[in-house]
Copies of this chain bind each other. A is one copy, B any other.
Amino acid sequence: MESFHTIVIGAGSGGLTVAVGLANLGKSVAVIEALHVGGDCTNVGCVPSKTLIHQAELHGAERPASTLAEVRRKRDALRDKETHEFGEVQNLSLIFGRARLIDPHRVAVATPEGGERTLHAAHIVIATGARPRTTSIPGLPAARQLTNETIFEIPDTPRHLAVLGGGVIGMELAFAFRKLGSRVTVVTTAPRVMDKFIPEVAEALGESLDRHGIAVYAGASAKSYDVATETLRVEQGGRAIDLEGVDDVLVAIGRQRNTEGLGLDAAGVAYSARGGIAADSYGRTSVPHIYAIGDVTGTSAFTHSANAQGRRVTQRIALPWLPARAPEPFYPSATFSDPEVATAGMSQAQITERYHPKLVKRIRVDLVTQTDRGYTDDLQRGFIIVDAIRLTGTILAVTIVGPRASEMISLFTLAIQERISLYRLYRLVYPYPTFSSGVLKVADTFLRDTLTGLNRELPTYLLHRWAGGRSRGLGGGSRGTAPHV
């Protein structure tokens, strides 16, 4: 039996963060990976999708097949580089195979050669991620049903791509393939695209989808496929719609956590009511010394959140005497659609749960009409929406839609982390002309509203200061702490 300080199951973003972090601190670490180093992000997620989006922006519909080949080339090169680099890290053993917990300290690894190795460690970190949820569409051949795991492998762009799902993955790839010249139709069972976000996002993206010639059927689902005519039958509110000439269907309807065959029961690791492995804000599961991070837990499914959770687990394992009190942050999000969508802070559900609706003030600044950058760049649509506590200007949630939203959002992530109010953002000097100067407009609008309406703002604040939200104090959400009002 081989012994290690820590065993990490899964060499994706979260797992590698812990493995490299601990190895660099001198701990012996085994990383077990069933498929590819880099996980979803490098292989079937951020890296190929962002390369595709960039190439589609750059080259449009000229030579789409070579664009797809270039995406694969860059993905493979990065995977090879990362595999090589992690193989070189001192104290880190990269083991290919399928891992299964035998008990809280032992892991069996079925190697590709058919053998089995048994590893032992003081700590085990589960970072097995998730995979695309699939669906069954009668008549649709398996080869025409794509997911993010297979779509980057197709040799040429579809003539007509049906995208099932209007979330982050669906939106990013719908825009990218449209720019590559495919006809694209989005079908979602949800009432609108991007329905995890505030409705203004769907409104802005809807206009852009329309302008790009991408049809959207919301509240609709795919019922059947006819190979002979390449027709995808969709049902929307009892009405049947036939999408013609659909050669590929991208299924992007959600993610399923990779918990099967891991021996979680054998080790006594508990599940969360939200699905996946239950883990606290430091990644600790129900079993001492077993941690879970990233997509396999019920929390934020982003590379950057898996990384951040990995850093916290590294700290817990390596420096267990440090107090584990720092709340897990609200993770920002970024969607690389056209325009980009980025968010920071609490979800609307978390706000509703914790604060009385009258305590929350919403400020919306339009980037088209209220920033000079929007004017010089002929911006079509974009906004900053900030939800803040009335009177105090404490920032709760931010949504930005517009070019470079993914880069602008970190200003707000920092403001929220450091509890910097809109009054202090008003003091900041933003370079001109930038979209960021819209932040000044947000702060300015808040200040003006508050100061000129003080006779209304102050009583409203005092009245609802202590009232709380729907279930204040019941601690519905385990992640993040609500700012003091």
A255 at the interface (CB under 8 A from B): no
Interface residues in A72-130 by Cβ distance below 8 A to B read 74, 78
Contacts of A413 in B (CB 8 A): 428-430
In the bound complex, how far is the Cα of B425 from the Cα of A460, in angstroms? 35
**Proximity string of chain A (204-228) to chain B, C-beta cutoff 8 Å, 1 when within and 0 when not:** 0000000000000000000000000
Residue of B whose beta carbon sits closest to that of A13: B432
A375-399 at interface with B (beta carbon < 8 Å): 375-378
Residue in B51, B334, B372 whose CB lies within 8 Å of A46: B372
A410 and B439: CB pair below 8 A? yes
**Does B332 lie within 8 Å of A429, measured CB to CB?**
yes
A54 close to B (CB within 8 Å): yes
Report chain B residues within 8 Å CB of A50: 372-373, 376-377, 433
Is A331 located at the chain interface by the 8 A CB criterion?
Answer: yes
* Distance from A77 Cβ to chain B, minimum over Cβ atoms (Å): 9
Residues from chain B with a CB closer than 8 A to the CB of A47 are 372, 375-376, 433
Query: Contacting chain B: which of A173-181, A238-246, A303-311, A463-471?
Result: A303-311
Please give, as numbers and ranges, the residues of chain B lying within 8 Å of A41 by CB-CB distance: 432
A333 proximity list for chain B (CB < 8 A): 431
Chain B residues near A331 (CB-CB < 8 A):
429
Bound together, the chains give a CA A412 to CA B332 distance in angstroms of 18
Q: Which of A183-191, A287-295, A400-408 contacts B (4 or more CB under 8 A)?
A: A400-408
Whether, in the assembled complex, A418 has its beta carbon less than 8 Å from a beta carbon of chain B, the answer is yes
Contact of A417 among B378, B428, B431 (CB under 8 A): B428
Bound Cα distance from A435 to B47, whole angstroms: 14
Within 8 A of B (CB), among A25-76: 41, 46-47, 50-51, 54, 74
Q: Which residues of B are found within 8 Å of A414, using beta-carbon distances?
A: 411, 414-415, 420, 425, 428
**Chain B residues near A404 (CB-CB < 8 A):** 404, 407
Q: For residue A429, which residues in chain B have a CB less than 8 angstroms away from its CB?
A: 304-305, 307-308, 329, 331-332, 413
CA distance A304 to B431 in the complex (A): 6
* Interface residue A434 (Cβ < 8 Å from any Cβ of B): yes
Q: How far is the CB of A233 from chain B (nearest CB, A)?
A: 36
Check if A78 sits within 8 Å of B46, measured CB to CB. Answer: no
Among A307, A378, A425, A428, chain B packs the most CB atoms within 10 A around the CB of A428
Residues of B within 8 A of A13 (CB): 432
Of all chain B residues, which has the CB nearest A417?
B428
The answer on a CB contact under 8 Å between A376 and B406 is no
The reply to whether the CB of A302 lies closer than 8 angstroms to some CB of chain B is: yes
CB of A424 closer than 8 Å to a CB of B: yes
- Give the docked Cα–Cα distance between A188 and B407 (Å): 34
Contact status of A304 and B377, CB under 8 A, knowing A404-B404, A410-B439, A414-B414 = no
Give the complex CA separation of A398 and B51 in angstroms.
Answer: 28
Would you call A258 an interface residue if the criterion is a C-beta within 8 Å of the partner chain's C-beta atoms? Answer: no
The reply to whether A432 and B372 form a contact with Cβ atoms under 8 Å apart is no
Partner of A430, one of B304, B415, B439: B304
Give the Cβ gap from A20 to chain B, nearest Cβ, in Å.
12
Q: What sequence of 0s and 1s flags, for each residue 296-332 of chain A, a beta carbon within 8 Å of any chain B beta carbon?
A: 0000001111011000000000000000001001011
**Chain B nearest CB, measured from A373 CB (Å):** 7
Interface 1/0 per residue, A145-174 and B, CB below 8 Å: 000000000000000000000000000000
Chain B residues closer than 8 Å to A436, beta-carbon distance: 406-407, 410
A427 on interface, CB distance cutoff 8 Å: yes
Residues of B within 8 A of A410 (CB): 408, 411, 428, 430-431, 434, 436, 439
Partner of A342, one of B376, B428, B431: B431
Indicate if A252 sits at the interface (CB-CB under 8 A): no
Q: Which residue of B is nearest A330, CB measured? A: B429
CB <8 Å contact, B432 and A407? no
Give A425 to B435 CA distance when docked, in angstroms. 22
What are 24 sample pairs from A and B whose C-beta atoms fall under 8 A apart?
A41-B432, A47-B372, A50-B377, A78-B372, A303-B432, A303-B433, A304-B429, A304-B432, A308-B429, A326-B427, A329-B427, A329-B429, A334-B434, A406-B434, A407-B408, A410-B430, A410-B434, A410-B439, A413-B429, A417-B424, A417-B428, A418-B418, A418-B420, A418-B424
